[in-house]
C-alpha cells in the first residue's frame, strides 16, 4: 500500500473523530456496560483484566500491520493520532474532572491523567491501524465506546463473551 493511500486513510479516520465529546458520559450508568466511577477503581480493579485482552488484540493487529503496511506506517499512525487527538482528550478529561468535582465526588486520579490519555490514544491508533489494513476488529469496538463519550478501561468475562468495563 502506498504512503499516499495510508496518509489519506489516516486523514479520513481523524476526520471521523472530530466530533467526539471525550469522556462526556464517563461515570454515567449503563445497561450495556459495567461502569466504574473512578480512575483508581478502573486502574486498580481492572488493569490486569484489561491487559489480558488488550495485549493479545494489539499483538494480533500489530502482526497484521507489520506484514501489510510496515513499521514506518504504524509509527506514522501513532504519531498522527497522538498529535491530533491528545489535546482534545486532555480537554475532555478536564471537563470530566470538573463535572465530578461539581457533583461533590472524589476526582483524585492519583496521577493517572497522562496514562489515561495515552491509553485512549493507543486504542484509537490501533483502531486506525485496523482501518488502514482493512482488518476491522476489537479496537474499532473500543472506538465505538469512546465515540459514546466513555472510556473502555477493561473487559469483564472471557472475550468475546462478556462486556466492556467503562468509565
> Quick one: pLDDT at residue 130?
98
Span 83-124, pLDDT tens digits: 999 999 989 888 877 776 776 665 555 445 678 889 999 999
Q: Please indicate, yes or no, if residue 108 is contained in any of the structural domains.
A: yes
Supply the pTM of this predicted model.
0.91
> Quick one: pLDDT at residue 116?
84
> Quick one: pLDDT at residue 37?
75
> Quick one: pLDDT at residue 62?
98
Q: Please indicate, yes or no, if residue 1 is contained in any of the structural domains.
A: no
Q: Please indicate, yes or no, if residue 23 is contained in any of the structural domains.
A: no
Q: Please indicate, yes or no, if residue 89 is contained in any of the structural domains.
A: yes
Q: Please indicate, yes or no, if residue 83 is contained in any of the structural domains.
A: yes
Q: Please indicate, yes or no, if residue 33 is contained in any of the structural domains.
A: no
- 4: exposed, middle or buried (C-beta count within 10 Å: 0-12, 13-18, 19+)? exposed
> Range of 143's domain?
39-166
Q: Please indicate, yes or no, if residue 26 is contained in any of the structural domains.
A: no
Q: Please indicate, yes or no, if residue 45 is contained in any of the structural domains.
A: yes
What's the number of domains the chain is made of? 1
Within 13 Å, how many C-alpha atoms sit on residue 112's CB side? 18
Per-residue pLDDT tens digits of the chain, which is 167 residues long: 899 999 999 999 999 999 899 989 987 899 999 998 777 777 778 888 999 999 999 999 999 999 999 999 999 999 999 999 999 998 988 887 777 677 666 555 544 567 888 999 999 999 999 999 999 999 999 999 999 999 999 999 999 999 999 98
Amino acid at each position: 500500500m502506498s504512503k499516499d493511500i495510508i496518509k489519506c486513510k489516516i486523514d479520513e479516520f481523524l476526520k471521523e473523530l472530530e466530533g467526539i465529546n471525550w469522556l462526556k458520559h464517563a461515570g454515567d450508568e449503563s445497561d450495556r456496560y459495567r461502569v466504574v466511577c473512578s480512575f483508581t477503581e478502573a486502574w486498580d480493579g481492572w488493569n490486569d483484566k484489561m491487559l489480558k485482552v488488550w495485549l493479545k488484540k494489539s499483538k494480533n493487529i500489530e502482526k497484521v500491520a507489520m506484514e501489510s503496511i510496515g513499521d514506518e506506517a504504524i509509527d506514522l499512525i501513532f504519531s498522527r493520532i497522538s498529535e491530533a487527538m491528545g489535546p482534545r482528550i486532555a480537554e475532555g478529561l478536564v471537563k470530566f474532572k470538573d463535572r465530578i468535582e461539581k457533583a461533590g465526588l472524589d476526582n483524585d486520579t492519583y496521577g493517572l491523567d497522562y496514562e489515561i490519555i495515552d491509553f485512549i490514544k493507543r486504542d484509537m491508533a490501533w483502531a486506525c491501524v485496523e482501518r488502514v489494513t482493512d482488518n476491522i476488529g476489537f479496537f474499532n469496538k473500543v472506538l465505538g465506546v469512546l465515540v459514546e463519550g466513555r472510556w473502555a478501561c477493561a473487559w469483564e468475562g472471557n472475550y468475546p463473551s462478556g462486556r466492556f468495563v467503562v468509565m
